[in-house]
Amino acid sequence: MERNIALSLMYVGTAYHGWQAQKNGVTVESTLEKALEWVVGHPVKCVGAGRTDAGVHALKYVANFHTTSAIPCDRLPLAVNTRLPDDIVVVRATEVAPEFNAIGSCVKKEYTYRIYNSRIRNAFFVDRAWLYPKRLDEHVMQRCADQMVGTHDFAALKSVGTETRTTVRTVYYFDITRNGEIIECKVCANGFLYNMVRAMVGTCVYASEGKLIPEELPHIMERGDRTAAGPTAPPGGLYMSKLWYEEDVL
């Protein structure tokens, strides 16, 4: 009898070319599928909660796969983790409804972007946060972030890449906080465009530098003018940090 299993996992994305399997390059999906295939004894195809890019991390991530294996869910994480590298960890396995889909069943997502705002780098934050030497004003950044909350057309805040039916998304919150030299940018939405979070963070940094007045951002977004918004922040500071499902899979 076939079961649909949802996996809750975390990973450090530095060594991978993103989540999605590719012909050239090691990805999180392909690495996980190989480990699962060894455990369940048949080919496996995973569906992931989102296409995180090369170098992007996940504090929380969900993937599902179908299997005819009878291995209990409570034993699956331990078994799979013995076949995974140290930078990918399966935390939990849950049997879910046949129609459950890790990306299609996801109601909303939160990403966290970390900036290490210091002139001197910290060895522990290499590829884990954006080293930004110029002093940033988190209050100006928050003013800019506030302009992006709500339902808007985010065409001005995405990179050329994956085509979607619409570039309209709803952002539920975009909160920027400082703790010493670490600035955390937490953004939650019903979906994200290609590089959207990194462009949002880069735009807030632009505002702090005085290159953009926060209250001008709605006009830039109305025009869909990517060149008038800020740069795309580097991938190493980005983490998928929270996911919402109607089913308890986390």
Those residues whose C-beta lies under 8 Å from the C-beta of residue 154, and which sit 6 or more positions away, are: 148, 167, 168, 169, 193, 196, 221
Q: Is 11:90 a contact under the CB 8 Å cutoff?
A: no
Phi, psi (rounded to 5 degrees) for 94 = -135, 135
| Catalytically annotated residue among 53, 87, 127, 137 | 53
From the CB of residue 41, how many other CB atoms can be counted at a distance below 10 Å? 12
Q: Which of 68-90 are b and which e, b meaning 16 or more Cβ less than 10 Å from the residue's Cβ?
A: eeebeeeebbebbbeebeeebeb
Query: Is position 53 annotated as part of the catalytic site?
Result: yes
Active site residues: 53
